[in-house]
Structure formats: structure tokens, C-alpha cells
Amino acid sequence: MASLTPSCCLFLLCTWLGVSLVCPQITYETYYFDQKIDHFGFYEDSTFKQRYLVCDSHWKTPNGPILFYTGNEGDITLFSNNTGFMWDVAEELRAMLVFAEHRYYGESMPFGNLSYSEPKYLNYLTSEQALADFAVLIRFFKESGDAKHSPVIAIGGSYGGMLAAWLRMKYPHVVVGALAASAPVWQFENLVPCNLYYQIVTNDFKKSGAGCAESVTKSWAAINRMGETDDGIKWLSLAFHLCSPLKGKEDVTAMKSWLIETWVNLAMVDYPYPASFLEPLPAWPIKEVCKHLRNPKLEDKALLQNIFEAINVYYNYTGDTSCLNISQNAVGSLGDLGWSYQACTEMVMPVCADGVTDMFEPQTWDFDSYSDDCYKLWGVRPRKSWITSQYGGRNISAASNILFSNGDLDPWSAGGVKQSLSDSLVAILISDGAHHLDLRSNNAYDPKSVIQARALEVAYMKKWIKQYGEQSHVQGV
Amino acid sequence: MASLTPSCCLFLLCTWLGVSLVCPQITYETYYFDQKIDHFGFYEDSTFKQRYLVCDSHWKTPNGPILFYTGNEGDITLFSNNTGFMWDVAEELRAMLVFAEHRYYGESMPFGNLSYSEPKYLNYLTSEQALADFAVLIRFFKESGDAKHSPVIAIGGSYGGMLAAWLRMKYPHVVVGALAASAPVWQFENLVPCNLYYQIVTNDFKKSGAGCAESVTKSWAAINRMGETDDGIKWLSLAFHLCSPLKGKEDVTAMKSWLIETWVNLAMVDYPYPASFLEPLPAWPIKEVCKHLRNPKLEDKALLQNIFEAINVYYNYTGDTSCLNISQNAVGSLGDLGWSYQACTEMVMPVCADGVTDMFEPQTWDFDSYSDDCYKLWGVRPRKSWITSQYGGRNISAASNILFSNGDLDPWSAGGVKQSLSDSLVAILISDGAHHLDLRSNNAYDPKSVIQARALEVAYMKKWIKQYGEQSHVQGV
């Protein structure tokens, strides 16, 4: 396969190594594969174009491996551009890189512009269909061209990490192993305590500056008091430079949700160097945020003024943002609409807060009201037990060759596998690591933990590749 | 759970052991479970009643196992009544027996009487949906009542055996192992030669009587010659005591298909004692058939007269049948309609004949015309590569704890796993065994091979049960 050089990628993957700006030659070609819209039924027999990106410049036939990114909820270029790890190890592993886009995201729309228009068109947005897409695409790779003898390794982060793990569990004949980075495969039902998630966020703030978490804790009551009067609501809109002024108490509630999401996202991307995964941010962004939140004992307006300055680190690090929009999704380029549907169907991940062990207002997990909200929003109801019935919950010891990596700063590590379950179901813990830090490019500011994690990941991959070679030799495949 | 005594079962499970008629006390209770019609999508959110049968009279809590029959294409009572093995071993294993009906068969109709009326209603008749039914039902068992500590073992024969194996592959968290009896998991694409199936049928006839297979071989040309004239066609209708006279050449072709199916079914049920699985038959029915087919050198009418007598063994062993019906399905109580749909969607199993190594007319495997026929019949097109993409084809070595048993008389053994793939993917060969003979009740006429096979199967089950107990102890589950 020939190669193109998309300029977007060159820019995003440049990283500072010591004093040098290193820009690995990242080139890929874009392809489209005809996938069945419905793998699990025959009444809807149409196909759609699934986008995937391929870089084979380091690939050595006849048995160089394929590193296959199991695309998650977003445009696949977002993940190819933020998974520097794969680009970094391609040469050493003599690997082809493939980034497969998840259906209903980016350009991979089963019903074109209609895909999100009605529940009947959204019906094929499930993890099972996505895994089947990957399995069928990998088979196509193995049967066409020179990849017949190439072992395939699934790699993904976050939901993509869940997909990588599940692909190995459900389709072990297509991938020899999986790296599931920051994959909260156990954030379902009651597999983990629902308040762990917010506790981790809180701990990140606690250790990033004195008074920081406490300031956030106090902010909710302050906002509530302001929200009791029209003047207070007006003040909030001005103080937070909101693009659309709050119109009443409901908007104040929405503003609080937006703040919660922002604190959570900061915890996810608390990387040790400047990065632009969700938003452009400085190194250790929570530390920057906490510089504004040193005094939790201020009176309401002064405290909330500081909260605004803190939030501004997240939304306006570049200084280009003239106003803040609480209805804008907090995660920039991710496909929030699709994820909202997935969360309202399969991906029911209970979270709760108690306001004591965490810095948030108490918030119970109420499935019934969650379900009602989903029905209003999407016309479908979530099934809270389905994911564990399908993928096994905690009982996954029959699987093999899966690496579960988790960083301790990452709220999603709450639902991660943090203890090895067997010799080949291996937990890798990354201290000072945020959301799938290990999947990012090498960086001079990487903590030692992530350097070790990546080395271990590569060692396991080499082991799987070797095993595959030995097995193929025996079987004459 | 209390127990009822349905008289149907008592009758059917009586077997001759030496000179005594042994009638094990078979009692079960019938239940219905609310299953989602569509496990893999959220737009169709309705449920249907899945029937299942339970016998817990030998079950010992808290950790007696559950033997779970993964129902295949038919009324579940057919399988509970013909899987004496489970009833025979229940006491020794202190096991609960569960027989779960496959959706779209028996009473388990997702859309009631409409289920087979339109392609849109048939859309949920797939193996994946059936496996999900089983997984969800087993979870219900484990979470309600006293079965929390009970390991579950999947057992099935034929397509039910495929489902048992696939259930263990795809849902290893719900079943600790599987007995896949006579499961042609490799009768797909080009995993095995397509002519092996008819070769096995032919060998059964060859070794059951001199001149037998050769008589069948010669019968096709004789029928063709008769079919060339109106008088000949009339003669065929009379000679074969057909309920509806043949009306032309097309009907002659249909008659040949019906004969092929009959020979194949005889090979499937060539049991060493009288049995009534597909039709009531004598012991070693092919030997009975072959008594009529000793002279292949007869002229056409005499040869075909013998063919009729032979066929009559299959359709009229009881002597109650006044005429033969070539449009009647040859397999009595099986759900042919549903299987026809499944064969036209997922279950694309290539078979072919060459007329040289087998006793049939040459018949190539032509997927395109097969697909066209399916489209005419059901409005859907089969996907020939899907099953191997989904279930791994020959590359299933990542799975564990599956027994693949096959009898050498059984045409379906052509697509079976006949060599062990690992320590825990074990092939069990049963010489002189027809279609899932091992799943039938103990019988004084059982060949030694099947007695050994059953003993091995029980030994493996005990091993899995023990492993589960040890694991539960470690995990504190």
C-alpha cells in the first residue's frame, strides 16, 4: 500500500524529547471497507463504508504483526493522532498500523446523514456490531494482500480499550492479544463501588494543591446560594463569562453538571506535559487549576471567581475563547452524541458521590430516572445487566493475552482491572498516570512508571508474536 | 422447585436393558422466561416467553452442577426425550437438568403465530440471539434460588452441540465446559471437503449389506429413465405408494431429493437398537434397509420396487402409513421450517457428491444458485463466511473445556472435530456410533465405544466441576 502524508498528524505527533522537537514521520493512507450494517440479522442486508487508516512503512512481510487500533467514540483521526505509542513501536515490532473507525463516528455512518435521525437508524450502534466490524475487517486483511502470516494485536484506550479486550475475549481467532489501556471494563452494575470514580478525581485535586479540592467542595453551596436569586443567577452568568446567560434554576443545575464534567475531564487528561487530547492544556493541568483555588474559605463571590479562573485553564488555555458555553460538550472533538446513545443503551456505568469522601454534591445512582431520561432523549431504554451478561463482568479468567493498563490519576481506573487475573491477564499500574498515558508518544517528561509500562507492553506483544509464529509453524498455517 | 410428571416422557425414555424394560423416573417442570426479542439492538425492546424444562430431583445444593441442554431446531421436549444421557447421569453428578428451547421452535415464538410470516419477524432467528438467550437464562438461574454456587455445563447434540461449544467459546463465564455431541462446527466454507458427508452415508450402506450402496447408486439412472415418459412417472407414483402422484419431471427431481434426504437420515439414526428419534425404526435400520437392496443388477422396475421396500423401512416401520408423502419432511418432528431459514442465513453448510466415491448423483456446491433459492424462499440471502468469522473456523485453540464427540457412522461427523486440539479441547470418537448416540440413554445394545465415550464425558465433567469448586473457594465466590 502506498502512503500519503496528512499534515494534521505531523503537527500533532511532534513531541519535546529533552530540548529537541521530535516529529516522527507519520504517514497513513485512508481506506473504506464495506461492512454489513447488521451483522446479527439478515433483514437489513445493506452495507456502509467503514473508514480505516493504514501505515505499512515499517511493516515487514511475511510475518510482521499488525497493530490494530479498535476505534472508539470519535473520529478515528483523533485516535491515530493521540496514540503515539503505536507509531513509536512500529519500527521495533516491524508492524503495520491499522486504525479502524467505530461505526456511527467520524465518517463511518451506516445511514449517512440519517444515522442519528431516528431510533431505527441508531439501532446498529452497539459494541457487538463494532466488534464484528473489527473481526470482519481483520479477516479481510489476513486474506488479502501479504498479511496471511501476520499476527494481529488489538490496541485501544478507554472505550476503545474495552473493545480491544472484548475483541480478544470474543474473537480470539482474529487477535492474538490485546492492550486495553484505561479500559473501565468493570464500571458496570455493582462490580465496583459507584463512588470510587469521583473519589479518584477528588484525590487528584487534593494532591495538586492545598485548598484545591476543598474549594471545589465549597463551590456547590456557593453556586446554590447564588442560584436562589435572579441577581445571583445574573452574577454567575457574568462571572463565568457565559455565552448564553443562565435563565433560571434549571440552568444553574446544568451549569453544575458542566463544572462536574470539567473537573472529571481535567483528571482524565492530567498529563505531565502540554497536550491537546480533549482541549489544549498545559503540563499537569490540575496543578495549574489549583493555583487559582488555594483558599476555600473565601466568601461566595470571591470563591466562585476563582472557580471561573480555574475552569478557564481548561477552556481557554490558548486565550482564544471569548466566552464559555455550558451546553458545549466538555470533551471537544469526541463524539458525544453517539456516546450519549451508547450510555443510554448498553454502556450503563453507575457513578455516585457522597460529598464526604469526594468534592462533589451527594448524588445517588438512580437507574430508573436515568432510564426515563434516556427514553426522553433517544426513545430507547438502557439495559443495566446486558454488558456483564455479554462480556462476563468480573468472571473473565477463561480469557487470555490481555493487558489491562491503568493510571492512578485516571477516574476511569475505578472500573479497571488493577490486579492480574492470571499469567496472561495482566494488570499494569501506572503511578502518576492519567487516562491512557501509556498510549501517548514517548515524552521527555514521562514518569518512569509509564516508561516501564510501555516496555512491559512491548515485551508481552513480542511474546504473543513469538507464540503465534511457533503455533503457525506447528500448524503449517 | 416442585415437579410434575408429564406422561409423554415416561413413555419415551423407557429402554431395554438386557431383558428388562427400564423406565427411569423422568419428571420435569415447564417454565417460561421473558427474553428480549433482540439482544443486540434496543429499538425492538419487547420480550417473548422462552420455554425451558427443569428437573431438580437429583440436584444437591449448594454446589450440585446444572446440566444445561442448549436446545436446537425443534420442540424442546423432543430433545429432553432423546437425551437420556443427561437423565442417566443426573444422580451420579447430583445435577439439576435444564432443557432450554431454541427461539422460533416449539412454544418459544418471539412473535407468536406471526413469527414465520415475514422476513422482518424472522430477523431474530440467529445462533447469536439463541446463545444470548441461554447466557441470560443461565444468569437468571445463578442469581435466583440456590444455584449461586452451581457450575453449569452446556450439553447439546447436532446444531445443539454447535451451540453448546459456541456457548463455551463466547460465554465462558456462564458455562464451565461443554459437551458438543455430533456437532459439525467445521461443515462451513471450505474447512472440510464438501463430499465427505455423502461418502460417510455411502460407507454406512456399503458395510450394511452386499449390493446395498450399489443398488442406490443405480437407482438414480433408473428413476431418470422412468421419469422420461408419462407412463414411467405414473408407475413411480404407484410403485412408491405416493400420496400425491408425481405430475412431471420437476416432481421426479423432488422425489430424488426426498430419497437422498431419507438415505442421509437413515445414516444419522443407524442406532444399534430400536429408536424413534426422527421416525420409529428397528435396530440397525440400514441393515434392515439393505435386506431389500441385495441385487443392484436388476432391471429398472424391479430395482425401484426394492428401493421402495427399503424406503418403507424408514417411513412405515410401524405399518401404519398408508401412503408416502415426498413433500413431508423426512425428519418428522424436527422444526424443518426454522432450519430452512437458518440454512438460508447463517448455517451455510456446503455438501457435494461426485457419484464415484459416493452413491449419489453428482452434485456440485453452487453457492450462487443456493443463495438465489434462499432469496425466493425467505427473502434473505445467506452469508457464507459469517459463521467462521464469528466462531473461528478451525482456529479455536484459545477456547477450553469442550468435548467434541463424533460417531463414525454419522454423516455430520464430516464436519466434526475429530482430533483433540489441546488438553481441554478433546475429540472423542465413537466407532459404530450414529448421530449423537452418546447422548441417548444407556442401552444393553450399546457398542463398547459409546460406553467408554460416556464414561470419559462424565470424567471430564467431574473435572470441570472440581475445578470450579476450587476456583470458587479461592475467589470466595
What pLDDT is stored for residue A281 in this prediction?
A: 92
Over residues B177-186, mean pLDDT: 98
Over residues A224-231, mean pLDDT: 97
Cα–Cα dist A36/A41, whole Å: 10
pLDDT-derived band at B12 (thresholds 50, 70, 90) equals: very low
Residues of chain B whose beta carbon is less than 8 angstroms from a beta carbon of chain A are 36, 39-45, 119-120, 122-124, 126, 128-129, 132, 135-136, 139, 170-173, 345, 380-383, 385-386, 389-390, 392-393, 395-400, 471
- Residues of chain A with Cβ-Cβ distance to B393 below 8 Å are 173
* Model confidence pLDDT, tens digit, residues B226-261: 999 999 999 999 999 999 999 999 999 999 999 999
Cα–Cα dist B170/B181, whole Å: 18
Structural contact between residues B286 and B270, judged by C-beta atoms closer than 8 angstroms: yes
Report the amino acid identity of residue A48. F
B158 in catalytic set: yes
Cα–Cα dist B438/B449, whole Å: 9
CB spacing of B172 vs A380 below 8 angstroms? no
What is the phi/psi pair of residue A225, to 5°?
-65, -45
Structural contact between residues B155 and B178, judged by C-beta atoms closer than 8 angstroms: yes
Cα–Cα dist A460/B3, whole Å: 53
- Residues of chain B with Cβ-Cβ distance to A346 below 8 Å are 42
Strand pairing partners for A353? Answer: A363
pLDDT at B16 over 80: no
- Residues of chain B with Cβ-Cβ distance to A385 below 8 Å are 139
pLDDT at B476 over 80: no
Over residues A390-402, mean pLDDT: 97
CB spacing of A383 vs B122 below 8 angstroms? no
pLDDT-derived band at B473 (thresholds 50, 70, 90) equals: low
Query: Closest-CA residue in chain B for A398?
Result: B172
DSSP state of B186: T
pLDDT-derived band at A472 (thresholds 50, 70, 90) equals: confident
Long-range CB contacts (within 8 A, 24+) of A302-307 = A303/A215, A303/A218, A303/A219, A303/A222, A304/A219, A304/A222, A304/A223, A304/A226, A304/A236, A304/A239, A304/A240, A305/A239, A306/A215, A307/A215, A307/A216, A307/A219, A307/A259
Cα–Cα dist A204/A228, whole Å: 31
What pLDDT is stored for residue A278 in this prediction?
A: 77
Over residues A16-27, mean pLDDT: 55
Structural contact between residues B236 and B326, judged by C-beta atoms closer than 8 angstroms: no
Query: Closest-CA residue in chain B for A39?
Result: B386
Length of chain B measured in residues? 477
Cα–Cα dist A342/B206, whole Å: 59
Please state the three-class secondary structure of B269-307 as a single string.
Answer: CCCCCCECCCCCECCCHHHHHHCCCCCCCCCHHHHHHHH
CB spacing of A43 vs B171 below 8 angstroms? no
Among the listed residues B158, B237, B405, B449, the single catalytic one is B158
Cα–Cα dist A163/A169, whole Å: 10
Nearest-by-Cβ selection for B45 from A126, A128, A381: A381
Output the nine-digit C-alpha cell for A51: 473508514
Element at A135 (helix H, strand E):
helix A127-143
What pLDDT is stored for residue A205 in this prediction?
A: 98
For B383-405, b/e burial (b = at least 16 CB within 10 A) is bbebbbbbbbbbebebbbbbbbb
- Residues of chain A with Cβ-Cβ distance to B399 below 8 Å are 172
Cβ count within 10 A of residue A250: 10
CB spacing of B380 vs A120 below 8 angstroms? no
What pLDDT is stored for residue B319 in this prediction?
A: 87
Question: What domains lie within chain A, and their CATH numbers?
Answer: 7-189+388-474 (3.40.50.1820), 196-378 (1.20.120.980)
Output the nine-digit C-alpha cell for B196: 465427505
Determine if residue B195 is left, alpha or beta; phi over 0 gives left, psi from -120 to 50 gives alpha, anything else beta: alpha
Structural contact between residues B286 and B208, judged by C-beta atoms closer than 8 angstroms: yes
Q: Indicate the pairing of strand B66-70 with strand B96-100.
A: parallel
Largest CA distance in chain A: 78
Cα–Cα dist A315/A268, whole Å: 15
* Model confidence pLDDT, tens digit, residues A157-205: 999 999 999 999 999 999 999 999 999 999 999 999 999 999 999 999 9
Apex B110 CA angle, A45 and B120, nearest 5: 25
pLDDT at B334 over 80: no
Structural contact between residues B150 and B66, judged by C-beta atoms closer than 8 angstroms: yes
Cα–Cα dist A256/B349, whole Å: 59
Please state the three-class secondary structure of A354-421 as a single string.
Answer: CCCCCCCCCECCCHHHHHHHHHHHHCCCCCCCHHHHHHCCCCCCCCCCEEEEEECCCHHHHHCCCCCC
* Model confidence pLDDT, tens digit, residues B217-228: 999 999 999 999
pLDDT at B159 over 80: yes
pLDDT at A266 over 80: yes
Length of chain A measured in residues? 477
Structural contact between residues B405 and B458, judged by C-beta atoms closer than 8 angstroms: no
What pLDDT is stored for residue B327 in this prediction?
A: 82
pLDDT-derived band at A21 (thresholds 50, 70, 90) equals: very low
What pLDDT is stored for residue B10 in this prediction?
A: 30
Output the nine-digit C-alpha cell for A38: 447488521
pLDDT-derived band at A9 (thresholds 50, 70, 90) equals: very low
Output the nine-digit C-alpha cell for A348: 450503563
Output the nine-digit C-alpha cell for B169: 467459546
- Alpha-carbon Rg of chain A, whole angstroms? 23
What pLDDT is stored for residue B8 in this prediction?
A: 26
Output the nine-digit C-alpha cell for A126: 452497539
pLDDT at B357 over 70: yes
Cβ count within 10 A of residue B319: 7
* Model confidence pLDDT, tens digit, residues A275-316: 887 788 999 999 999 999 999 999 999 999 999 999 999 998
What is B299-335 written as a DSSP string?
A: -HHHHHHHHHHHHHHHH-TTS--SSB-TTS-TTTTB-
Structural contact between residues B13 and B29, judged by C-beta atoms closer than 8 angstroms: no
What is the residue whose three cell numbers read 445487566? A385
CB spacing of A172 vs B399 below 8 angstroms? yes
B241 in catalytic set: no
A410 in catalytic set: yes
Structural contact between residues A224 and A276, judged by C-beta atoms closer than 8 angstroms: no
* Model confidence pLDDT, tens digit, residues A54-98: 999 999 989 999 999 999 999 999 999 999 999 999 999 999 999
What pLDDT is stored for residue A44 in this prediction?
A: 97
Q: Beginning with the edge strand found earlier in the chain, give each strand of the sheet holding A152-157 in spatial order.
A: A29-36, A47-55, A96-100, A66-70, A152-157, A177-181, A402-407, A425-430
CB spacing of B471 vs A397 below 8 angstroms? yes
* Model confidence pLDDT, tens digit, residues A428-439: 999 999 999 999
- Residues of chain B with Cβ-Cβ distance to A399 below 8 Å are 172
pLDDT at B66 over 70: yes
What is the phi/psi pair of residue A390, to 5°?
-75, -45
pLDDT at A16 over 80: no
Over residues A349-366, mean pLDDT: 97
Give which of A159, A106, A108, A71 is closest to A346, Cα–Cα: A159
Give which of B51, B45, B58 is closest to B1, Cα–Cα: B58
Q: What is the mean pLDDT of chain B?
A: 92
- Residues of chain B with Cβ-Cβ distance to A165 below 8 Å are none
CB spacing of B119 vs A381 below 8 angstroms? no
Cα–Cα dist B352/B440, whole Å: 29
What pLDDT is stored for residue A24 in this prediction?
A: 55
Q: What is the mean pLDDT of chain A?
A: 92
* Model confidence pLDDT, tens digit, residues B287-320: 999 999 999 999 999 999 999 999 999 999 888 8
Q: How far is B91 from chain A (nearest CA, A)?
A: 28
What is the phi/psi pair of residue A451, to 5°?
-65, -45
Contacts of B476 (CB under 8 A, 6+ apart): none
Structural contact between residues B428 and B445, judged by C-beta atoms closer than 8 angstroms: no
Higher confidence at residue B269 or residue B3? B269
Structural contact between residues A271 and A437, judged by C-beta atoms closer than 8 angstroms: yes
Nearest-by-Cβ selection for B170 from A119, A170, A395: A170
Query: Closest-CA residue in chain A for B128?
Result: A40
Question: What are the Cα distances from residue A96, in Å, to A30, A89, A141, A157, B389?
Answer: 14, 10, 11, 19, 22
Question: What are the Cα distances from residue B477, in Å, to A184, A431, B473?
Answer: 22, 30, 7
What is the residue whose three cell numbers read 466434526? B416
What is the phi/psi pair of residue A295, to 5°?
-120, 100
CA atoms within 13 A on the CB side of B14: 8
Helical spans, DSSP H, in B207-248: 212-226, 230-239
What pLDDT is stored for residue A329 in this prediction?
A: 54
CB spacing of B129 vs A40 below 8 angstroms? yes
Interface test with A, best of B34, B36, B39, B42 (most A CBs within 10 A): B42
What pLDDT is stored for residue A460 in this prediction?
A: 98
What pLDDT is stored for residue B277 in this prediction?
A: 77
Report helix angle A249-268 to A300-315, nearest 10.
50
